[in-house]
A and B are shown apart, each in its own frame.
Chain A
């Protein structure tokens, strides 16, 4: 198993641009999570899905952030428009119910 796959691994963009982060969870896992990690705030849960349905998006910072899961093997996190304060490492993780999450390698986002 390749584990959770995220792309791109690094993204540098300019303020105001749209950013799309992608995630492929581990096959068979029915939970998918998006996290953001910064030095200021540590690891924050943004949103999670169960069977492709968003369950809790209370961690999404604001309307500029949106996440979708069109099928069991793919999810996107979109920021539009991006701002410098969005610079962080974004992790996708997947799990079976009530087991430890498997994290992807992360996407390092820098918004100039």
Chain B
């Protein structure tokens, strides 16, 4: 089955840029979506279709993907960005929704 790989944790100082990766085979053919989840809260979609942002999501959040890796970049990180971030793709017709294991972003 298709597997999405994320680093368990990423740390960044306020004002710096955070980069969170999501790896998988043949990523180029898949659209990647990203969710932010703060403690005790439901996930929030922050990037969809690789690089689009829903309304209300700051421009500081951006997405990019290449052959085998998708990247969520958070510019000018703020304390309020501290959360878990999960990637998600369409896997296959028999297993259509796949989530990565999540990455905990810590703002130092």
A binds B: no
